[in-house]
Structure 1
Amino acid sequence: MAPPPPASPPVDLTPLVWVVDDSPTEIEAIRRSLSSACRVEVFSNGEAMLEALHQHGPPDVLVLDWQMPGLSGLEVCRYLRGTPSTAMLPVLILTGHARPEDVEEALLAGANDYVLKPFQPAELLARVHALSRWELQRKRVLADERARRVLAEGSLTEVQAAEARARRSEQRYLLAARATRDVIWEWNTETDEVERSISLPAYLGYPDTGQTGDTQWWKEHLHPEDRERVVSGIRAAIAGTAQDWQEEYRLRRADGTWVFIVDRCHIVRDEEGRASQVVGALQDVTERKRLEAEARQRAEFERQLIGIVSHDLRNPLNAITLAATAILRSEELEERQRRNAVRVLTAADRATRMIRDLLDFTQARQGGGIPLNRQPMDLHELVHTVVDELQVIHSDRTIHVEQAGDGKGEWDPDRLMQVIGNLMGNALQYSPPNTPVKVTTRGEVDAVVLEVHNSGDPIEPDVLPRIFEPMERGSHLQAVRAGRSIGLGLFIVRHIVLAHGGRVSARSLADEGTTFTVLLPRHP
């Protein structure tokens, strides 16, 4: 009597999800969205994730932020797809890029799916679940194929082989039971028969006839514009050498409307390269398409609105600024007139910065990044220029400047003026009038360091990790001092510094004051 086959190890259906994002706020939101149903591990950058990947092996699903310092999400994705051990790892991209060409770029880089920011927790969890189910099914199919090959070599009895097939069938339907939004299917390419976990007609609202049958019903209900592309595409994938196929298309519902479908399958091949098994999952993404369309419309409206507002406001503000500056240059001004002119110039400067920050914030949030115009320059000289301008407006404040080493590099001078101006503006705004503000620039071997220090109230420890997020401020007193600031200055600083390949940090203690430190590589 043949010995009984070894018991299959229990399958852990709780997916392990790795999250790579440099924003503590977003990481916490993702963790809250997934922790009820997933094991979640987080990484602040792509490099740390890749190191863990080499040490521990891949997770079930990888969630990547598109925009990160160092390696971007797309660069990480391309690396994974070029490595045999991670070529099939399910990857979900988190992005603010709503344009179709951006989505296409992410998919071409190898992403399996994407979620637009700001995301809904339920949507994120559903996408991760779909990818984890797909990965578990793929692993099971590969394991069964290995068992089939062992049988072909005569290492198992027919009884054991039947038990292996039974375990495969049981696993498939276990997955189907969990896949509340998916239709799991298996296609016999020799007979053209398809076995589905859910009746496709019933899934689309037609009377449930118990149909499983062949692919004819599916073909007839494909959108006419999609039919030839989809049918020829999957047949070409099966006839060729591909291991995976994915397509998006439309199917007609019973009420005559069209449902958007994402269909994926894994193709198992024998030793001669012929398709021996084709298993896939079909998912309704109509709601996702609707949300994406709304996001694109909203993004376009925001761009148009802010563009119009900035254009219509900048011209009068420029005129006010020029007039106030000309008045201040007069030597016949009385002290009261000078104070009024300074007040006008300060208000105009604040309004101009608010408009500029709004434009930069919109562009960064929508995934466009901060555009740069690099040129050779000296950071020491730029700091003096900004300090001189601020000293005119804040004539009652003391600003100390200390400089050392070589300040030369290739940067965007206009953008760095924003960085210096925003950091010094914060330092002047959030510190007592009788205390100095200190600005230091220090040349190092491959970089130049900028530090802006003030002796104001410290930033609360719970706020400090989020200080570079939009709309973040410290205490009530600081919020009052902020006046009509919209809270985007430090967010813009961070994005400009990251665009230069640098980094920015903040340190704030009651006995030391607050120091913002920017490190800028001299060259791209």
Structure 2
Amino acid sequence: MRVRRREPPTDPALVLLRSFCHELRPPVATLTSLVRALEHQQTEGRREELAQLAAAHVSHAEAVLQQAAAAAQGLAGPADNHQPLHRVLPSVAATVPRERLDVEVSAAAARCVVAPRHTRQILLNLLDNAERYSPGAIRLSARTGWRRLRLTVSDEGSFTLDLARSLRRRTPPQGTKGLGLWVVRHLVAAQGGVIRARPLTPRGVAIEVCLPRRRR
């Protein structure tokens, strides 16, 4: 007889704190890199571009903190005003070194309206995982299907049982491993979407997020 191990109960307040601390890590790390790049960049056009990207990550970190404060008080978080995807992607792409990231976005996908804070957090977590746990190139693609926006992050890592479990689990992990994917799963579900992982041939893994296409 196989006995299923029960996970210990979790403290909701502790889960909330861990989740928001985890969500702050990518924008803060990227902001640090952007500030360092600004210090050594001499071209005025590039400096302006870096400054805009830094401002976007500051705004995102502020939104995460506001959401955490509201959740701690049992209140609704700040409104996530919808924007076209192309306005979200530059700050997301800045989290991965240019030489490692390939971005492919169809014209229709770029025009799709999304919830910027949640969509940005989904992609930040997926790209952060890809950069931390896999070697080589990373690809971010966005395509449209039948009433769906499909966002895919693929890398040269492996499709593992741990990855599959992280995308299925209903309760948060005890440590930080898998916490980002658990957060992503809930953000995707909150928007009526689905997430799945699939192995690539001859190697690699892709995580695909399908979200309902919103009307303007």
**TM surpasses 0.5:** yes
Per-residue CA distance 1:173-210 (angstroms, 9 max, x = gap): xxxxxxxxxxxxxxxxxxxxxxxxxxxxxxxxxxxxxx
- For the Cα contact (< 8 Å) 1:409–1:522, is it kept in 2? yes
Partner of residue 329, structure 1 = 38
User: Counterparts of 1:166-185 in structure 2 under 5 Å?
Assistant: none
The SS at the match of 1:463 is helix
How far, CA to CA, are the matches of 2:182 and 2:17 in structure 1? 18
The one-letter amino acid of 2:159's match is I
How far, CA to CA, are the matches of 2:30 and 2:162 in structure 1? 35
User: Counterparts of 1:16-165 in structure 2 under 5 Å?
Assistant: none
How far, CA to CA, are the matches of 1:503 and 1:493 in structure 2? 10
Give the one of 477, 488, 491 matched to 2:179. Answer: 488
- For the Cα contact (< 8 Å) 1:372–1:499, is it kept in 2? no
- For the Cα contact (< 8 Å) 1:453–1:514, is it kept in 2? yes
Give the one of 144, 165, 172 matched to 1:443. Answer: 144
The one-letter amino acid of 1:373's match is A
Per-residue CA distance 1:57-109 (angstroms, 9 max, x = gap): xxxxxxxxxxxxxxxxxxxxxxxxxxxxxxxxxxxxxxxxxxxxxxxxxxxxx
Partner of residue 134, structure 2 = 431
User: Counterparts of 1:240-279 in structure 2 under 5 Å?
Assistant: none
Partner of residue 459, structure 1 = 159
Q: CA deviation at 1:417?
A: 0.7
How far, CA to CA, are the matches of 1:372 and 1:422 in structure 2? 20
Q: CA deviation at 1:328?
A: 2.6
Give the one of 501, 506, 511 matched to 2:197. Answer: 506
- Residue identity over aligned pairs, in percent, reads 25
How far, CA to CA, are the matches of 1:486 and 1:421 in structure 2? 16
The SS at the match of 1:373 is coil
1:444–1:371 Cα change, 3 Å: farther
How far, CA to CA, are the matches of 1:380 and 1:491 in structure 2? 25
Partner of residue 45, structure 2 = none
Give the one of 103, 113, 120 matched to 1:401. Answer: 103
How far, CA to CA, are the matches of 2:140 and 2:146 in structure 1? 20
The SS at the match of 1:518 is strand
- For the Cα contact (< 8 Å) 1:382–1:417, is it kept in 2? yes
Q: CA deviation at 1:372?
A: 7.5
How far, CA to CA, are the matches of 2:113 and 2:78 in structure 1? 11
How far, CA to CA, are the matches of 1:323 and 1:513 in structure 2? 29
How far, CA to CA, are the matches of 2:200 and 2:134 in structure 1? 13
The SS at the match of 1:494 is helix
The one-letter amino acid of 2:148's match is A
Per-residue CA distance 1:452-507 (angstroms, 9 max, x = gap): 10012x132x33431223339xxxxxxxxxxx954311011110011011111111
User: Counterparts of 1:337-486 in structure 2 under 5 Å?
Assistant: 373-387=79-93, 389-391=94-96, 394=97, 397-407=99-109, 408-432=111-135, 435-456=136-157, 458-460=158-160, 462-468=161-167, 469=169, 470-471=172-173, 485-486=176-177
- Unmatched runs of 5 consecutive residues or more in structure 2: 43-53
Partner of residue 279, structure 1 = none
How far, CA to CA, are the matches of 2:31 and 2:86 in structure 1? 26
- Unmatched runs of 5 consecutive residues or more in structure 1: 1-27, 34-116, 120-294, 334-344, 473-483
The SS at the match of 2:181 is helix
Q: CA deviation at 1:378?
A: 1.8
Partner of residue 47, structure 2 = none
Q: CA RMSD in A?
A: 4.4
Partner of residue 46, structure 2 = none
The SS at the match of 2:211 is strand
How far, CA to CA, are the matches of 1:372 and 1:332 in structure 2? 35
- For the Cα contact (< 8 Å) 1:447–1:521, is it kept in 2? yes
The SS at the match of 2:39 is coil
The one-letter amino acid of 1:402's match is E
How far, CA to CA, are the matches of 1:517 and 1:506 in structure 2? 6
- For the Cα contact (< 8 Å) 1:403–1:440, is it kept in 2? yes
Partner of residue 210, structure 1 = none
How far, CA to CA, are the matches of 2:31 and 2:137 in structure 1? 28
1:511–1:436 Cα change, 3 Å: same
Q: CA deviation at 1:428?
A: 1.4
Compute the TM-score of the two structures, normalised by the length of structure 1.
0.29
The structure that has the greater radius of gyration is 1
Compute the TM-score of the two structures, normalised by the length of structure 2.
0.63
1:417–1:511 Cα change, 3 Å: same
1:505–1:329 Cα change, 3 Å: same
